[in-house]
Amino acid sequence: MLKLYFNGSPNPTKVALFLEEAGISYEAHPVDTRKGEQFGPEITSMNPNAKVPVIVDTDGTVVFDSNAILLYLSEKTGKFGGPADKRGEVLSWLMFVATGVSPFSGQAVHFRHFATEKVPYAHNRYQYEAERHYGICNERLATRKFMAADTYTIVDMALWGWSRMVPYIMGDDAWAKFPHLKRWHNEIAARPAAQRAAGLKDRHAFKTTMDDEARSHMFKFLARQAA
């Protein structure tokens, strides 16, 4: 059976969404990053970058990085890759999420919620870039039901993983700026598979506090800063 190493953050959740939508049986293996479990030999032997998600397929194939996993599973199963004549759009928008939405959202969250000192320049830069990227998605969805094709694809799954966090990324009033994105998000969130994927984290007792121990694992650069 396929194994999924995950936590409750956006990137593993998008992979869980694919597995649930495709009806693929899988074993869920929680990795508590606030306890530093991602740095143990089990994870680093599969992903030297010490991050989740990671999957181990039934034939032993290991894949890490959420967007690589989505692409791998789509190609293997023939599901959610979109029609052949939309392949370019699917790949382009998948990489847009991978190289734009995801990293800028993550940095926006860090400087809004977790930075040990206020850095207005960094905060403003990442808030602006997060808003800009979600604005592009909002404009795209103003005239279409899905992001990359006329059907539901891995691009929608990849973006949905992060869109669930829009208020946390950009503030409680952020949805008002993105009505078309909000419509799309709500439609996906209502899918039974999305509800199961979002609820996966609730089956495990992940550490929720961001104390000194958690910071030492999540933000290792702080040790160098203190040296």
- In a shared domain, residues 101 and 174: yes
Strand partners of residue 6: 30
Burial class (CB in 10 A: 0-12, 13-18, 19+), 12: buried
- In a shared domain, residues 162 and 101: yes
- In a shared domain, residues 98 and 186: yes
Q: Domain holding 50: CATH number?
A: 3.40.30.10
- In a shared domain, residues 178 and 157: yes
Q: Domain holding 125: CATH number?
A: 1.20.1050.10
pLDDT of residue 222: 78
pLDDT of residue 227: 54
C-beta of residue 123 within 8 angstroms of C-beta of residue 112: yes
pLDDT of residue 88: 97
Q: pLDDT band at 8, cuts 50/70/90? A: very high
**What domain range includes position 146?**
84-190
Instruction: For residue range 113-138, list pLDDT tens digits in order.
Output: 999 899 999 999 999 999 999 999 99
Helix H, strand E, coil C: the string for the chain is CEEEEECCCHHHHHHHHHHHHHCCCEEEEECCHHHCHHHCHHHHCCCCCCCCCEEECCCCCEEECHHHHHHHHHHHHCCCCCCHHHHHHHHHHHHHHHHHHHHHHHHHHHHHHHCCCCCHHHHHHHHHHHHHHHHHHHHHCCCCCCCCCCCCCHHHHHHHHHHCCHHHHHCCCHHHHCHHHHHHHHHHHCCHHHHHHHHHHHHCCCCCCCCHHHHHHHCCHHHHHHC
Mean pLDDT estimate for the chain: 96
- In a shared domain, residues 114 and 182: yes
Tokens of 179: 């009505």
Cis before residue 53, ω within 30 degrees of 0? yes
Counting the structural domains of the chain, the total is 2
Instruction: For residue range 64-74, list pLDDT tens digits in order.
Output: 999 999 999 99
- In a shared domain, residues 167 and 215: no
What is the percent of the chain with per-residue pLDDT over 70, rounded to a whole number?
Answer: 99
Whole-model pTM: value is: 0.95
- In a shared domain, residues 34 and 93: no
Going by C-alpha positions, the residue among 22, 192, 10 that lies closest to residue 2 is 22
- In a shared domain, residues 145 and 58: no
- In a shared domain, residues 186 and 88: yes
